[in-house]
Amino acid sequence: MNFLDLIWLIPLFPLAGAAVQLAIGRRLPKSAISFISPGAVGISLLMSIGAVVQLAGLERRSHEVRLFEWLPLIKADMGFLLDPLSSVMILVVSGVGFIIHVYATGYMAHEHGPNHGGFYRFFGYMNLFVFFMLMLVLANNYALLFVGWEGVGLCSYLLIGFYFHKKSAGDAGNKAFIVNRIGDAGFILGMFMLFQLTGSLRFVDVNEVLRSGRFAVELGTFGALSLCALCLFIGATGKSAQIPLFVWLPDAMEGPTPVSALIHAATMVTAGVYMVARSNALYALTPETSHVVAAVGAATAILAASIGLVQNDIKRVLAYSTVSQLGYMFLAAGVGAYWVAIFHLYTHAFFKALLFLGAGSVIHALGGEQDMRKMGGIKDKVPVTFRTMFVASLAIAGIPGLAGFFSKDEILWQAWSSPLGSKALWMVGFATAAMTAFYMWRLMFMTFYGTPRMDEHTLHHVHESPKSMTVPLVILAAGSVVAGWIGMPKVFGENGFMQALEHWRAPVFAQGHAAAHEAASHAHHDTTMEWVLMGLSIGVALGGIFIAKALFFGGGNIELRTGGPLYPVLLNKWYVDEIYNFLFVKGLTINGGGAMARFDANVVDGGVNGTAWMTRMVSRISMWYDTWIVDGLVNLSAFTVRALSFPVRFFQTGYLQTYALVFVMGILAIFGYYWSR
Amino acid sequence: MPASFMPSAQELMRFAPEMLLTLAGTLIMLLEPFTESGNKSRLAWLALGALLAALGLTAVSAADPGPAFSNMLLIDEFGTFFRFLVLAVGVLTILISTHYLRSGGHESGEFYALLLFSIVGQCIMATANELIMLFIGLEVSSIASYVLAGYLRDDKRNNESALKYFLLGSFATAFLLYGIAWTYGITGTTDLSLIRSALLNPASRPNEVLTAAASAFLFVGLAFKVSAAPFQMWTPDVYQGAPAPVTAFFSAGPKAAAFAMFLRIVLTGFEPLKKEWEPLLWVSALATMIIGNFAALRQTNVKRLLAYSSISHAGYVLVALTTHSGPGAAAAMFYLAAYCFMNVGAFAIITHVARRDERYVEIADLAGLGTRQPLMAGLLTVFLLSLTGIPLTAGFFGKFYIFKVALDQGFIWLAILGLLNSALAAYYYLRVIVVMYMEPAPEGEGELPAPAAGVLAAAVGSAIATFFLGLFPSSLLDFADKARRIFN
C-alpha cells in the first residue's frame, strides 16, 4: 500500500468522524461514539506511521501530493507535503491525539451536559480539531496552513466554551478568540507580504526563492523580509501564547481537561513553533527578527515560570508551565536551532499531555476539586496516576535519562553556543529551568504527599480512574521516558539515534541556517563547556526539587508565600490582564473621548457580546438541527428506504412464476432497447 | 483441423488439475459405501488433499502456458488466476462444511464429490476458449450446485432452494445456449478468437440485428449466473435456503468462475461489439448495485442480507466490466479475489453461529457476540469492514481500483453513483457490527459452543488474506495486470 500518495486521506478520517458525530451523534449510543471518535484518529495514526516509514525509505525525504488547484489567484493548491518536519508533527498529532481521545472516553463518560448533547458534540469537535490540525501540518502552502490555523482556533473556541452554561467558560472562549484574531491579522499580513516578495505561497517554492540568493541577509537592517518575518511571528505569538498575546491560554483551562491536554498543551499551541520552523529559510535571512523571536521566547519562558511558582489551581500551574515551555521552543528557534525547537515540541507533547491527563485524573478522583490547597495525601489511593505524574514531573524538571532533559539541555546549549545566542539568553533559560523544577515539584508535593486536606466526604470517595484513563497515562509515561533518547546530546558520543534525527530533519532545514551549521561544528571544539553546562542544569533541577521538598513536603506549610515581596505580583500574574484592560479597554474609552467610547461600546463590547451570543446561537442551532433535521432525516430515510425497497419486495414474492416473469420482462426490455435504437 | 485428435502429454499436463479432481471425486463416490458412518471425515481429508494437489498442479501447469485440445482450452495467466481462486474457495468450503455436516448427522461422501465436480466445472469455465467448452464447464458446475443446494433432503428450505435454482438456472442456460447458437450461425465458429476475427472482418461483417440478438441472449445467460439485475431474483431465495457452507461456496466459487467466463467473452470474442454491450452492462451494473444495496437495508436474516450484499458486489464488478478495458479486467479480478475471501470468511462465522439446523441466522442472534466470543466477533468485524470498503482491508482497494478505472475510462457518472452506493452499504454492514458489540446477548439462548477447528482455520485464513490484500495489494494486482494482457 503506497501510503505516501494517500497522505491526503490522513486528515479525512477525523473529518468523517466529526461529520458522522455532529450529524447524527444524538441518535447514536455513547458506546458507538466512544468507538468512532478514537477509531477515526487511530486510522489516521496507522496511515501516518505507514507514510513516515515509507518516507524514511526514500532517497530524498520529501513527498508532495497535489490534488488540484485551489486558489488560482495566489497559486495555492489543495496540496499536501510530507517531509521530516511534517512527519514529526503528524505523528505527534495523531499519536498523542489518539491516546487523549481514548482517555476522554473515560473522562467524559459521566458527561451529560445541557440537553444531554454534551457527549457527542464534545467528541465531534475533538475529531474536527484533529482534522484541522492535520491539515495545518500537512499543508504544502501557507494558505492551506492558514485554513487549518483558523480551524483549530475555531475548535479551540468551541471546546473551551464547552460548558457554555458556565459564564467563566464562555468568557474564556471569547478571550481566546479575540486575542487570537490579533495574532491572525499579523499572520495574514505576513503571508501576503511573503507572496509579494517571493511570488508563491508553496513552501517548496518559497524556500527555493529565498535560498536562491536573490535576497541578501538583512544583517543590521530591518527591511521588507524582516517585517514579513515579524508579522508571521506575531501570528505565532497569538497561537502559541507568547508575550504579548499569552493571556488567553491560562483562562482556556476552563475547558474540559482532555481539551487542555490535546489542544492547549500538545498540539494547537505548538502550531506557531511549527510555522516558524517551516519558515526557517525566511528567518535565516532576517537575523534581527530572529533576535526578537529569541528574546520574546526567553522572556515568556521566565515570566510564565515565575507566575507558575505561586498559583494554587493545579491546571493553572500546568497552563503557565506550557506557556513557559513554548517560550523555550521559540528561544531555540530564535537562535537558529529549529530542529531542537521541534525536538522539544515533540518531547513536551508527551510529558505535558501526561501532566494534564494526570491532573484530570486527580480532579476526577476528587470530584472536581482543582485547588491544590485542598488536596494532599492521595498518592496511595491513586497509585497509577501518582506514578505516571511522578515520571512526567521528573521529565519536565530535566532529570537525566528522561525526555525533557535531552531537549531542554540541547536548547540551553544552543542558546549558549549558537552565533545568534548569548550568555544572557542562556542565563534566562537556566533560571527558568530552576523555576520549572520548583513549581512542578511544589505541585507534586501539594497534590500527593502529606496529610489529606479535603473534607471527609471527598476523601472517602477518592478512587483510581478507570482503565480507559489510566492506560493512556501509562503509555504517555513510557513516552516521557524514551522519547528523548533519539536526541542524546553529542557529548555522549556519536549516538546513532541523534544522528538519525538530525539527518532526518536535515533536508527541511538544509542550508537553512548557516549559523546552525556553525554551531554544530562549534560544538565539537567545546565539549568541555557542554559538560559543564549540563552539570549545572542538572544541579539546578535537583536544587529546585529539593527546595520544593523542603518547603512543601508534608504539606504543613501550604499557605507559604514564596517569592517574598514579589508574591502579590506573581499571584496576580504581573498584572498583565489589568494592564491590558487599562490600556486597550478602559484606556481607550477614558482618553479617547466619545468616539472611542462609542467604538468600545459598539465594537469591543459588541465583539465580546457578539461572541457570547454566538456561543448561545451555536448551541441553539445545534439543538434545532438535532430536533428537526436529524430526527427528520432519520424518519425521512426510513420512509425512503421503505419506499425504494417496495418494488424490490413487491417482486420478491418467493413464487417461481414471478421470478420467471421478471426474467422475461428483462429480456423484453433488452430487445426493446435494441429495437428502438 | 489439427493433424491428430490424440492429445499430447503436454496438453494432458495442462489439464491435469481437472483430471485429478474428477478422479478424486469418483474415488470418493466409490469409497463412500465402504466407509463407516463415523469415518466419513476421511473422505473430507481426501477431498482436501485432492484440492491441494490440484493447486500444486495448477502452479505446475502455469509454468507451461498454452492451448490444449485443439484450442478448446487456453491455459493462460488469466485462467490460472481463476483456477487458483476457485480451488482456494473449495479448500475453505471443505473446512467450513465438515463440522456443520457432522453435527447434523449428514456427513457423507457425495457432498465432497459434488463439491469437487462443481469445482472441475469452474476450472473449465476459467480456462475455456470456446463457447461449447464454456457451456460444458458451466453445466458441470451448475448441475453439481443444484444438488448441493438441496443437499439436506429432509429440509424444506433446502428443497425450495434447489428447485428454484434448478428451474431458473435451466431457463437461463437455455438462453445462453441459444445465444451460442446464434453466434455460430453468424460467424460459423464457436472459437472465441475466430469469432473475434469474423466480427472484425469488414467483408463478412454480419447484420446488426443478428449480432444484437446474439449479444442479448448471451448477456441474459451470463447475467443470470453472476446474479446481475434484472436476473438476480433467484439469489436471495437460493442463498437463504441452501445450507450455510454451500451458500458460502455459491457466493464465491461459481460467481468468480462465471465472471471469468463473462470477462473472456466480453473482452475477446465479442470485443468488436463493444458498442452493443456497453449500454446493457452500464444499466445492469447500476441497477444491480442499487437493488442489492437498497434491498439489503431492510433484511433481518443474515444469510439473506449477505445474499443482497453479494448482488451489490456483482454490480461493482460489472462497473469494471463496463469499461471494456484491460485495466478494468485487472480491477475486476482483484475485486473478485478480495470478495471471495471476505465473503467466505463472513459465511464461515455465520455457519458457526447458526449451529445445528441453522436455528440462529437472524441478525438479532448475533447480539452480544462481541462479549461471548470476541475472536469470532472480531473476525466477522474484519470481513464486514472489508465488505464496506474500509482502508487497510482488501475491500477498500477492490473498490478503489474499480472506481479509478471507471473514472479513467470516462464513466464518471457510473463511478459517482457506485461510490454513493458503497457509502449506503456501510449502513447495513455496520448495523451488524453494532448489534454484535452493543446489544446484550439474548436471554435463555443455548450455549454457543467453541468454534470448530475447520471453521476457525477458514475464518483466520480468510482474514489473513483480507489484510494481506489490503496491505500489499500490488502483490496480487501485478499478477492480475499481467494476466489481463491477453485482452489487447
Nearest to B393 by CA among A128, A46, A10: A46
CA distance A627 to chain B (A): 22
Nearest to A320 by CA among A304, A309, A331, A302: A304
- Whole-number Å distance between alpha carbons of A593 and A605: 16
Looking at chain B, how many residues does it have? 488
- The pLDDT-based confidence of B315 (bands split at 50, 70, 90) is very high
Amino acid residing at A470: T
Interface residues of chain A, partner chain B, Cβ below 8 Å: 1, 6, 9, 29, 31-32, 35, 43, 46-47, 641-642, 644-645, 648-649, 651-652, 654, 656, 658-660, 662-663, 665-667, 669-671, 673-674
- Whole-number Å distance between alpha carbons of A585 and A598: 12
- Whole-number Å distance between alpha carbons of A191 and A499: 34
- Within a domain: B257: yes
Show the CA angle centred on residue A424, arms to residues A420 and A427, nearest 5°. 120
Residues 6+ positions from A222 with CB-CB distance below 8 Å? A288
Instruction: Identify the DSSP state of A71.
Output: E
**E strand or H helix at A63:** strand A63-71
Amino acid residing at A219: L
> For position A479, what pLDDT does the model report?
86
> For position A496, what pLDDT does the model report?
40
Nearest to B110 by CA among B16, B33, B36: B33
> For position A527, what pLDDT does the model report?
74
- CA A583 remoteness from chain centre: 30
pLDDT in tens, B108-122: 889 999 999 999 999
CA distance A423 to chain B (A): 53
Q: Give SS3 for B264.
A: helix
Residues of chain A in contact with residue B212, where contact means CB-CB under 8 angstroms, are 674
Of B172, B237, B472, which is closest to A654 when you measure between CB atoms?
B237
Asked if residue A36 has pLDDT above 70, the reply is yes
> For position B58, what pLDDT does the model report?
93
> For position B434, what pLDDT does the model report?
83
Asked if residue B328 has pLDDT above 80, the reply is yes
Residues of chain B in contact with residue A664, where contact means CB-CB under 8 angstroms, are none
H-state helical runs in A223-337: 224-239, 248-251, 257-261, 271-278, 280-285, 287-308, 314-334
H-state helical runs in B63-201: 77-104, 109-127, 131-149, 156-187, 192-200
Q: Would you state the cell numbers that stand for residue A389, as one nine-digit string?
A: 505524574
Of A641, A656, A665, which is closest to B297 when you measure between CB atoms?
A641
- Whole-number Å distance between alpha carbons of B141 and B136: 9
Query: Worst-scoring range by mean pLDDT, A24-33, A35-44, A332-341, A505-514?
Result: A505-514
CB atoms within 10 A of CB B244: 25
Interchain pair A670, B219: CB under 8 A: yes
**Which domain, by its residues, includes B41?**
9-487
pLDDT above 70 covers what percent of chain B? 98
pLDDT in tens, B129-187: 999 999 999 999 999 999 999 998 888 888 899 999 999 999 999 999 999 999 998 88
Nearest to B31 by CA among B146, B99, B116, B95: B116
Residues of chain B in contact with residue A659, where contact means CB-CB under 8 angstroms, are 164, 168, 233-234
Interchain pair B471, A666: CB under 8 A: no
Residues of chain B in contact with residue A651, where contact means CB-CB under 8 angstroms, are 233
Asked if residue A505 has pLDDT above 80, the reply is no
CB atoms within 10 A of CB B352: 28
The chain B residue lying nearest A652, using CA atoms, is B233
CA distance B25 to chain A (A): 32
- Within a domain: B318: yes
Interface with B, mutate which of A12, A640, A645 (most B CBs under 10 A): A645
- The pLDDT-based confidence of A508 (bands split at 50, 70, 90) is low
pLDDT in tens, A564-617: 666 777 777 777 777 776 666 554 444 444 444 454 445 545 555 555 566 666
pLDDT in tens, B94-108: 999 999 998 888 888
In whole angstroms, how large is the CA radius of gyration of chain A? 27
| Dihedral over alpha carbons B82, B85, B86, B89 (to 10 degrees) | -170
Is residue A9 within 8 Å of residue A47, measured between CB atoms?
yes
Looking at chain A, how many residues does it have? 677
pLDDT in tens, A168-223: 777 777 778 777 878 888 888 888 888 888 888 888 888 888 888 778 777 777 78
> For position A499, what pLDDT does the model report?
47
Interface with B, mutate which of A648, A657, A677 (most B CBs under 10 A): A648
Highest mean pLDDT of the ranges A76-85, A500-509, A581-590, B55-64: B55-64
- Within a domain: B1: no
Q: Is B49 exposed, middle or buried (0-12, 13-18, 19+ CB in 10 A)?
A: exposed
Tell me, what's the ipTM? 0.83
Interface with A, mutate which of B294, B308, B435 (most A CBs under 10 A): B294
**What's the average model confidence in pLDDT over A260-288?**
88
DSSP assignments along B282-339, one per residue: HHHHHHHHHHHHHHHHT--BHHHHHHHHHHHHHHHHHHHHHT-SHHHHHHHHHHHHHH
Name the domain count of chain B.
1
Interchain pair B164, A667: CB under 8 A: no
Show the CA angle centred on residue B188, arms to residues B183 and B191, nearest 5°. 75
Asked if residue A452 has pLDDT above 90, the reply is no
- Within a domain: B3: no
pLDDT in tens, B221-263: 999 999 998 898 899 999 999 999 999 999 999 999 999 999 9
The chain A residue lying nearest B476, using CA atoms, is A1
Interchain pair A666, B219: CB under 8 A: no
- The pLDDT-based confidence of B218 (bands split at 50, 70, 90) is very high
The chain A residue lying nearest B233, using CA atoms, is A659
ω into A244 cis (within 30 of 0): yes
Is residue B292 within 8 Å of residue B308, measured between CB atoms?
yes
- Whole-number Å distance between alpha carbons of A586 and A600: 9
Burial A375-405 (b: 16+ CB within 10 A, else e): bbbbbebbebbbbbbebbbbbbbbbeebbbb
Of B229, B276, B294, which is closest to A645 when you measure between CB atoms?
B294
- Within a domain: B2: no
Residues of chain A in contact with residue B279, where contact means CB-CB under 8 angstroms, are 673
Asked if residue A447 has pLDDT above 60, the reply is yes
> For position A535, what pLDDT does the model report?
84
Residues of chain B in contact with residue A671, where contact means CB-CB under 8 angstroms, are 213, 216
- Within a domain: B4: no
- Whole-number Å distance between alpha carbons of A31 and A109: 10
- Whole-number Å distance between alpha carbons of A616 and A251: 19
- Within a domain: B353: yes
- Within a domain: B405: yes
Asked if residue A74 has pLDDT above 80, the reply is no
- The pLDDT-based confidence of A492 (bands split at 50, 70, 90) is very low
Query: Worst-scoring range by mean pLDDT, A159-163, A464-468, B296-300?
Result: A159-163
Is residue B243 within 8 Å of residue B100, measured between CB atoms?
yes
CA distance A78 to chain B (A): 20
Highest mean pLDDT of the ranges A20-24, A28-32, A371-375, B414-418: B414-418
Tell me the count of A-B CB pairs closer than 8 A: 82
